[in-house]
């Protein structure tokens, strides 16, 4: 939780405006009785992931372990 707070320092208004920008898309989903969620859902998810990537890129990388996955 602490890491999440540190990550969002200075980006809360930006995230709020991002969510506000999807009000129109949410109305489209309502008008189409949920059918538009097939397109809006993935678009919303990718947008949030890109926001996270951008915010994450501005922060110092968190320490990683020496664990190597056995593939």
Structure tokens at 3: 């890491």
pLDDT of amino acid 39? 96
What is the reported pLDDT for 58? Answer: 78
Domain assignment present for 7:
yes
What is the pTM assigned to this prediction? 0.74
Structure token digits, residue 35:
């059918």
Residue 70 forms part of a structural domain: no
Instruction: Identify the pLDDT of residue 70.
Output: 63
Residue 63 in any domain: the answer is no
Q: What is the pLDDT, as a whole number, of residue 23? A: 97
Q: Per-residue pLDDT tens for 14-71?
A: 999 999 999 999 999 999 999 999 999 999 999 999 999 999 987 666 666 666 656 5
Q: What's the structural domain count of the chain? A: 1
For residue 35, which of 47, 25, 45 has the smallest C-alpha distance?
25
């Amino acid at each position: 939780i602490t890491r999440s707070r540190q990550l969002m320092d200075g980006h809360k208004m930006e995230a709020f405006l991002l969510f506000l920008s999807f009000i129109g898309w949410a109305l489209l989903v309502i008008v189409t009785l949920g059918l538009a969620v097939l397109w809006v859902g993935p678009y919303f998810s990718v947008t949030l992931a890109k926001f996270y990537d951008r915010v994450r890129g501005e922060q110092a990388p968190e320490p990683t372990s020496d664990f190597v996955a056995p593939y």
